[in-house]
């Protein structure tokens, strides 16, 4: 993190600590320690831990968007291949990573703070919705080509891909086993294949 500025180092520290131990368990002191910044520097950039958390959601979205934008599946010609490729890419992101490294900053924080901190909750949903929109546009193209008469809603299916992945993380955390998340996401792939196969047979 040496080359990053103070703000980005604090964002990275927030992603790391909140994903591992949650929002409430993470103190400003701990964030400063991991980011190697002084408490004075923290409060020069942020008025509170809450403000850091809200802004960290945008940092997370930018950070993860770059990872997805560079993924190979975008180069596939058929949007249905892109969609399956997206799901497979989500599985690849689990390989060789600990749960704290592969799970979602937004989902973790939304679960904990949804009721007690509306600003954090809203920022988490914005981030999830931005990512879901990239999936929705792929689904829309795949539907137009392969299942134009299907009655399911593409926006709902895009959110469902995110719900499955979030739920896969919850179960994997409960079992302390990243492999369980992978096993769950295989069901998502099969569902998508069945949705399109079913439509083709109409």
Shortest separation between residue 142's beta carbon and a copy of itself, angstroms: 16
Pick one of 13, 93, 124, 147: the residue that binds a copy of itself (CB under 8 A). 124
By CB atoms closer than 10 A (0-12, 13-18, 19+), residue 139 is: buried
Is residue 178 close enough to count as binding a copy of itself by CB under 8 A? no
User: Strand, coil or helix: what is 26?
Assistant: coil
Sign of the C-alpha dihedral computed for residues 20, 24, 29 and 32 taken in this order: positive
Shortest separation between residue 172's beta carbon and a copy of itself, angstroms: 9
Is residue 51 close enough to count as binding a copy of itself by CB under 8 A? no
Helix-strand-coil percent breakdown of the chain, rounded to 5?
80, 0, 20
> Which residues of this protein are in contact with a copy of itself, per CB under 8 A?
20-25, 99-100, 106-108, 110-116, 118, 121, 124-125, 128, 152, 156-157, 159-160, 162-171, 173-176, 180, 183-184, 186-187, 190-191, 194-195, 197-198
């Amino acid at each position: 993190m040496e080359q990053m500025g103070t703000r980005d180092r604090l964002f990275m520290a927030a992603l790391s600590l909140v994903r591992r131990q949650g929002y409430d368990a993470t103190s400003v002191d701990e964030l400063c320690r991991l980011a190697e910044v002084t408490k004075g520097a923290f409060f020069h950039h942020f008025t509170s831990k809450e403000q850091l958390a809200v802004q960290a959601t945008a940092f997370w979205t930018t950070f993860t968007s770059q990872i997805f934008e560079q993924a190979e599946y975008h180069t596939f010609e058929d949007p249905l291949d892109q969609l399956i490729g997206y799901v497979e890419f989500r599985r690849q992101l689990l390989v060789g990573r600990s749960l704290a490294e592969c799970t979602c900053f937004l989902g973790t924080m939304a679960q904990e703070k949804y009721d007690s901190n509306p600003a954090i909750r809203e920022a988490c949903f914005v981030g999830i919705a931005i990512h879901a929109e990239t999936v929705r546009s792929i689904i829309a193209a795949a539907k137009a080509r392969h299942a134009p008469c299907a009655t399911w809603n593409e926006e709902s299916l895009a959110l469902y891909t995110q719900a499955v992945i979030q739920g896969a993380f919850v179960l994997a955390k409960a079992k302390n086993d990243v492999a369980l998340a992978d096993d769950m996401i295989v069901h998502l792939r099969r569902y998508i294949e069945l949705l399109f196969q079913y439509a083709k047979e109409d």
